[in-house]
Amino acid sequence: MKYNITIIGAGIIGSSIAYCLSKYDCSILVVDKENDIANEVSMANSAIVHAGHDPEDGTLKALLNVEGNRMYPQLCEDIGARIRHVGAYTVMTSPEQQATMDALIKRAEERNIPYEVLTAEEARKEEPNLADDVIKVLSLPSTAIIIPWEVALKQMQVAVLNGTEVKLNCEVKAIRKNENGYVLETSQGEIETEYVINCAGLYADRIANMIAPLDIHTNPRRGEYFVLSHDAKDFVHHIVYPIPTDKGKGILAVPTVDENILLGPNAEETGSCEAINTTSSGLGYIRQELARSVKNVPFHHTIRTFAGLRPSISTKDFYIKKAEGEENFLNLLGIDSPGIASAPAIARYVDDLLKLPYEVKASYETKNPYRFNFQDLTPEEKDAYIKEHPAYGNIVCRCEQISEGEIIQSIHEVLGAHSIKSVKKRVRPGMGKCQGGFCQPLVLEILARELKVRPEDVLYDQIGSNVVLDWKGGNGNA
């Protein structure tokens, strides 16, 4: 198989790049070793579109974060992804932090980022759960939250409609050169390509080393989180950050798009790209550190804990460069935070850097056509819709109130859901309080029916993650 461009990695970066480049009249392939779009770093993070005041002057992070933040509203509008401009409160709790606070304000000023300094009293009116020793607050209203896998998926869907191909469960194992460009040796055979864009997240250093030795290594840093149920949705309405230290942004309280609360992340070097396990020490640290910025934390509403790994590198900045001596092989390394916030700007930067020799197509899509969201309807509209499409009246997930119709819809879209987890990422059954206790058996049944496979072949996520072993034909009287 031959392609003009191959993108390795279907995280938010690969998806943003595919969306941007799919305007060209050329063949594009995206490969990912996972069984769904955005299943690794882009699946487990704080989901914040940072304002851009945090990265140091002169860094790529500063440049692309600020630009990315400005691009997001239009992007989300175009692809039909949800974004909430909740704003951020950076809270100062001791006079020694004044210098850092001043530096942040100066950067916000210079980068044209809207901000406001609030007294503790003013801030408390909006956020009664700020810690008692908060003395001053830097408010950053352009800070927003999104759902990273939604933004990735919706961009990738447009790319596919523009002709991009996506191969999942396709791991790149080795790369060699030939007269036309490169040959990728993958778990699904060989792929020939003129250009390679390596945005393989945690594994981008390994991919880079397949073509030219590179003295930069990803050093996975784990961040763990608590997820609180909707019952805790009023705990904070803004993202609450402590004043950053040299260790990082600190422990945050983040409202999510779907009105949950995330608490975390810590930062711990793991030395392993697989260590997405949570630890009692990590979760304990979050409990303790959170008290610096907020009080009355409703930990009893925890419905889940999870961990993600940051693909960090020692320079601490994004590394976006062509491989040594290779005009057509681009490496993206160290895309840790603010990778999400910067994603659309990174894609544009990559486009500029590559100077691709292809024409822009006479017509191509920038808008995602899958816009129908049943949840947005009024009761009267829902009634009318259900009368035409009865499956939308059949509620499958009691906690998040997701209907059978929405699940079927997610299965039959381009890059549709095909596993329990991919349904959950697209329409949320199992994300609520019971974590799928009631609905997972029903979702399994719907998947089997719609995909015409046996229930025992339905996967939770990866190959090998089958949910039930075999069917014995029993029933309630077995």
Partner 1 sequence: MRKVQCVIIGGGSAGLAAAVELKKNGIDDLLILEKGPEPGGILNQCIHNGFGLHEFKEELSGPAYAERFADQAKELGIPIECNTTVTAFYPDKTIEVSNSSGYEIIQAEAVVLAMGCQERTAGQIQIPGMRPQGVYTAGTAQRYVNIDGYSIGKRVFILGSGDIGLIMARRMTLEGAKVLGIAELMPYSNGLQRNIVQCLKDYGIPLYLSHTVTNIEGFPRLNKVTITEVDANRRPIPGTEKVFEVDTLLLSVGLVPDNTLTVEAGIQLDPRTRGVEVNEYCESPMPGVFAAGNVLHVHDLVDYVTAEGRKAGRGAAKYLKGELKERGGFPTKAGNGVGYVLPQRVDYPKEDPTVEFSFRVRTPYKNAKIVVRDGDTVLKEIKKPALLPAEMEKVILPNNVLANIRNELTIEVKEAE
Ligand X SMILES: Cc1cc2nc3c(=O)[nH]c(=O)nc-3n(C[C@H](O)[C@H](O)[C@H](O)COP(=O)(O)OP(=O)(O)OC[C@H]3O[C@@H](n4cnc5c(N)ncnc54)[C@H](O)[C@@H]3O)c2cc1C
Q: Which is nearer to partner 1, 94 or 394 (CB)?
A: 394
- Per CB under 6 A, the segment of 25-33, 86-94, 174-182, 350-358 that binds ligand X is 25-33
Choose the one of partner 1, ligand X, none that binds residue 466, judging by a C-beta under 5 to 8 angstroms depending on kind: partner 1
Query: In angstroms, how far is CA 413 from the centroid of its own chain?
Result: 20
Binding residue for partner 1, selected from 187, 272, 277, 288, defined by CB under 8 A = 277
From residue 142 to residue 161, what is the string marking binding to ligand X with x (rule CB under 6 A)?
------x-------------
Q: Among residues 50, 53, 238, 301, which one is catalytic?
A: 50
Q: Tell me: does residue 339 bind ligand X (CB under 6 A).
A: yes
Cα R_g (the chain), whole angstroms: 23
**Local structure of 399: helix, strand or coil:** coil
Choose the one of ligand X, partner 1, none that binds residue 292, judging by a C-beta under 5 to 8 angstroms depending on kind: none
Structure tokens, 345: 């700007």
Structure tokens, 476: 């309630």
Q: Tell me: does residue 5 bind ligand X (CB under 6 A).
A: no
Q: Which is nearer to ligand X, 44 or 408 (CB)?
A: 44
Give CA–CA dist 43/152, Å, rounded. Answer: 10
Q: How far apart are the first and last CA of the chain?
A: 51
- Per CB under 6 A, the segment of 39-47, 73-81, 119-127, 451-459 that binds ligand X is 39-47
Give CA–CA dist 110/118, Å, rounded. Answer: 19
Give CA–CA dist 77/237, Å, rounded. Answer: 23
In the complex, minimum distance from the CB of residue 203 to ligand X, in angstroms, rounded to a whole number:
3
Binding residue for partner 1, selected from 112, 178, 296, 475, defined by CB under 8 A = 475
Q: Tell me: does residue 270 bind partner 1 (CB under 8 A).
A: no
Choose the one of ligand X, partner 1, none that binds residue 274, judging by a C-beta under 5 to 8 angstroms depending on kind: partner 1
Q: Which is nearer to ligand X, 136 or 310 (CB)?
A: 310
Tell me which residues in 159-188 interact with ligand X (CB under 6 A). Answer: 171-172
Cβ atoms of 218 and 311 within 8 Å: the answer is yes
Choose the one of ligand X, partner 1, none that binds residue 153, judging by a C-beta under 5 to 8 angstroms depending on kind: none
Cβ atoms of 402 and 428 within 8 Å: the answer is yes
In sequence order, what are the beta bridge partners of 198? 8, 331
Q: Report how far apart, in Å, the C-alpha atoms of 124 and of each of 69, 128, 290 are.
A: 26, 5, 17
From residue 368 to residue 407, what is the string marking binding to ligand X with x (rule CB under 6 A)?
------------------------------x---------
125 burial via Cβ count (<10 Å: 0-12, 13-18, 19+): exposed
Q: Report how far apart, in Å, the C-alpha atoms of 189 and of each of 97, 170, 172, 179 are.
A: 55, 9, 9, 19
Q: Is 50 a catalytic residue?
A: yes
Q: Tell me: does residue 350 bind partner 1 (CB under 8 A).
A: no
Nearest C-alpha neighbor of 235 from the set 292, 284, 298? 298
Cβ atoms of 403 and 428 within 8 Å: the answer is no
In sequence order, what are the beta bridge partners of 174? 185
Choose the one of ligand X, partner 1, none that binds residue 365, judging by a C-beta under 5 to 8 angstroms depending on kind: none
Q: Tell me: does residue 398 bind partner 1 (CB under 8 A).
A: yes
How many beta carbons lie within 10 A of that of residue 476, not counting itself?
A: 4
Give CA–CA dist 285/297, Å, rounded. Answer: 14
- List contacts with partner 1 (CB under 8 A): 226-227, 230-231, 274, 276-280, 283, 300, 302-306, 379, 382-383, 386-387, 390-391, 393-395, 398-399, 401, 403, 433-438, 440-441, 445, 455-456, 460-478
Q: Catalytic site residues?
A: 50
Residues near ligand X (CB under 6 A): 8-14, 31-34, 38-42, 45-48, 50, 148, 171-172, 199-203, 207, 223, 265, 308-310, 335-341, 398
